[in-house]
Structure 1
Amino acid sequence: MKIGFIGLGVMGRPMAGHLIAGGHELFVHRVKPVSQHLVDAGANPVDSAREAAAAADVVILMVPDTPDVEAVLFGPDGVAEGIKSGSLVIDMSSISPVATKTFAARLAEKGVDYLDAPVSGGEVGAKNAALTIMVGGSEAAFERALPLFQLMGKNITRVGGVGDGQTAKVANQIIVGLTIEAVAEAMLFAKQAGADPAKVREALMGGFASSRILELHGERMVKRTFDPGFRIRLHRKDLALALDAARALEVALPNTAATAQLMNAALALGDGDKDHSALIRTLETMAGASAD
């Protein structure tokens, strides 16, 4: 396929690389030195999202937030100015389910199909083509996109109609955020009680508390390796989406709200661009505990 790929960040770069390796022709916007290897591998650089859309049959977005998606799609020189009827837009960003439905409706007026397909798995999953992909949209559009998803991920589920993929991703981020916070509390508790957090984590990995987050993020907390796989500021954005939706639905999400506040504190302490496992640093500061 001819694919316009917009969003060559930490996640987008390896995802685009897998599509090129799968034999697809990519048109990429905003190539920086860190993504030059994609051009070297055969991607075609273009000067705007409009040009990427005009050259492609499928446009994939992987950008940070709802306003970014709206700007890429409908801003000056955006996708909507260049896209052809019969094309498909796949938004793999994590954004508002409500805005997603609005974007899809606007593109449907141009005869363009739309899938929301946010991902989970972080940088490791993106590099290993092992992402979990949660998809909202029509069955026909999903079947059209499935060969592309299979190059980037392993657990691929059509959840339902447009917006349902984003709803699933918000639910995912609630679970991940609250579990990271729980692991951070446990590691802090162990340390302050005089136990070796590394040994405590090792013991817990063999019990009912075992999880991928205890395994991976618990190790980051023990080793103090907080280079971002997924930044705290982006996870805070996802929890804000959850709380905005909960307010509209009149649903209480008390622990989501508490974790979002801890992430606000992490940003205030200058940790917004660290990995979300660095939330333990915020708890350490609150406890007056020694940090790194």
Structure 2
Amino acid sequence: MTHLAFIGLGIMGSPMAVHLQKAGYDVSGYDLAPAAADALVAVGGTRATSIAEAVTGAEIVTIMVPDSPQVEEVLTAEGGVLANASPGTLVIDFSSIRPDVTANLAARTKAAGFRIIDAPVSGGEPGARAATLSIMVGGEPSDIEAAWPVLEAVGQTIVRVGPNGAGQTVKAANQLIVAANIEALSEAVAFLEAYGVDLEAAITVLGGGLAGSAVLDQKIRKILDREFAPGFRIDLHHKDMGIVTSAAREKGVVIPLGALVAQLVASARACGDGSLDHSALFRGVERLSGRSLDQSRSS
């Protein structure tokens, strides 16, 4: 069995690690919260007590942590991957971080004798649990080919989009589109509710037309039920909107809608909704409309 280390067993990482163990890999998982490895251990994986323990002897190292500083620490700290894994090890970074940081870390990782690809994912917790994630991959073709069985074990749509860093650039664009769609869906629901429309009927017809989208399919129930348990937290989408707005500014690309949505995401976070699912942008629409957040849809 191929020894694979999985660093970061959160909402996304835990089901991904479970899928890899079930696919025949010998997975050693590490997370700052030891209990996060429970699901992996339940299917035969191993709970590591440190990154160094997880990556020692590993042929593949996968990473799924929140942001650029964490990826850098996982790779370059004294107890990290480069200091404890064997040169030649393939590193797959599933995290969503800044494209420039990814390119820089890839250069440092390659200089140390390792292989690395960036493979950020889209699909949220449902996609991670169903192994149907969309994966945008940046890196050398030969490294991506070597990683392909791992990617296939957790994803459904897998596309090489360019060299190291390109995967993160495409993920930033993805997050811009998703945030704008959630905000538009939230505003539409608030509008429909204000007029007392039959919501279920309205959503059915909207979903069957040009307004239909994966965002509508996956997020409408959360909005209608006011049930915002996190599948993808507003805190993380706030980070991602910072990435896309900063990267766009660096290239002289004007994204006025993106800038506005980034501010709405920041407002939701400032109002205490950071730990909620990003569909809780709906709560921001209700606040701006002067409606009570626990007001019933019929009022």
> Do the structures match in fold with TM over 0.5?
yes
How many Å separate the matches in 2 of 1:237 and 1:37? 27
**Alpha-carbon deviation of 1:202?**
2.1
Which is worse superposed, 47-56 or 225-234? 47-56
Residue 56 of structure 1 is matched in structure 2 by 58
Secondary structure of the corresponding residue to residue 55 of structure 1? coil
How many Å separate the matches in 1 of 2:40 and 2:221? 32
How many Å separate the matches in 1 of 2:223 and 2:200? 9
Deviations along 1:183-232, one digit per CA (max 9) or x if unpaired, are 11111111123324333222211222111212221221111121111011
Residue 50 of structure 1 contacts residue 80 of structure 1 at CA under 8 Å; is this kept in 2? no
Deviations along 1:78-129, one digit per CA (max 9) or x if unpaired, are 1111121111111000001100011011111111011000000111110111
**1:134 partner amino acid:** M
Count the aligned residue pairs. 292
Deviations along 1:256-282, one digit per CA (max 9) or x if unpaired, are 111111111111211111111110101
Q: TM-score by structure 1 length?
A: 0.96
Residue 146 of structure 1 is matched in structure 2 by 148
Residue 253 of structure 2 is matched in structure 1 by 251
**2:235 partner amino acid:** R
Q: Quick check: 1:45 aligned with 2:47?
A: yes
Residue 27 of structure 1 is matched in structure 2 by 28
Q: Which runs of 5 or more structure 2 residues have no equivalent in the other structure?
A: 295-299
Q: Percent identity?
A: 45
How many Å separate the matches in 1 of 2:135 and 2:10? 18
Which is worse superposed, 36-45 or 185-194? 36-45
**2:287 partner amino acid:** T
Which is worse superposed, 153-162 or 203-212? 203-212
Equivalent position to 1:167, from 157, 166, 169: 169
**Alpha-carbon deviation of 1:50?**
2.2
Residue 226 of structure 1 contacts residue 274 of structure 1 at CA under 8 Å; is this kept in 2? yes
Deviations along 1:167-188, one digit per CA (max 9) or x if unpaired, are 1111111111101111111111
Equivalent position to 2:271, from 269, 274, 288: 269
Q: Which runs of 5 or more structure 1 residues have no equivalent in the other structure?
A: none
How many Å separate the matches in 2 of 1:77 and 1:274? 32
Q: 1:145 to 1:187 in 2, by over 3 A?
A: same
Equivalent position to 2:111, from 109, 112, 116: 109
Deviations along 1:217-252, one digit per CA (max 9) or x if unpaired, are 122111112111101110111111001101111111
**Alpha-carbon deviation of 1:49?**
1.4
How many Å separate the matches in 2 of 1:128 and 1:5? 18
How many Å separate the matches in 2 of 1:205 and 1:46? 45
Q: CA RMSD in A?
A: 1.3
How many Å separate the matches in 1 of 2:224 and 2:48? 43
Residue 7 of structure 1 is matched in structure 2 by 8
Q: 1:200 to 1:290 in 2, by over 3 A?
A: farther
Residue 117 of structure 1 contacts residue 166 of structure 1 at CA under 8 Å; is this kept in 2? yes
**Alpha-carbon deviation of 1:34?**
4.2
Secondary structure of the corresponding residue to residue 18 of structure 1? helix
The list of structure 1 runs, each at least 4 consecutive aligned residues, that deviate by more than 4 angstroms after superposition, is none
How many Å separate the matches in 2 of 1:4 and 1:163? 22
How many Å separate the matches in 1 of 2:127 and 2:217? 15
How many Å separate the matches in 2 of 1:50 and 1:136? 25
How many Å separate the matches in 2 of 1:38 and 1:219? 29
Residue 76 of structure 1 is matched in structure 2 by 78
How many Å separate the matches in 2 of 1:242 and 1:209? 24
Residue 137 of structure 2 is matched in structure 1 by 135
Deviations along 1:2-26, one digit per CA (max 9) or x if unpaired, are 1111000010011000110011111
Residue 297 of structure 2 is matched in structure 1 by none
Q: 1:33 to 1:54 in 2, by over 3 A?
A: closer
Secondary structure of the corresponding residue to residue 208 of structure 1? coil
**2:46 partner amino acid:** N
Q: TM-score by structure 2 length?
A: 0.94
Secondary structure of the corresponding residue to residue 183 of structure 1? helix
Q: Quick check: 1:288 aligned with 2:290?
A: yes
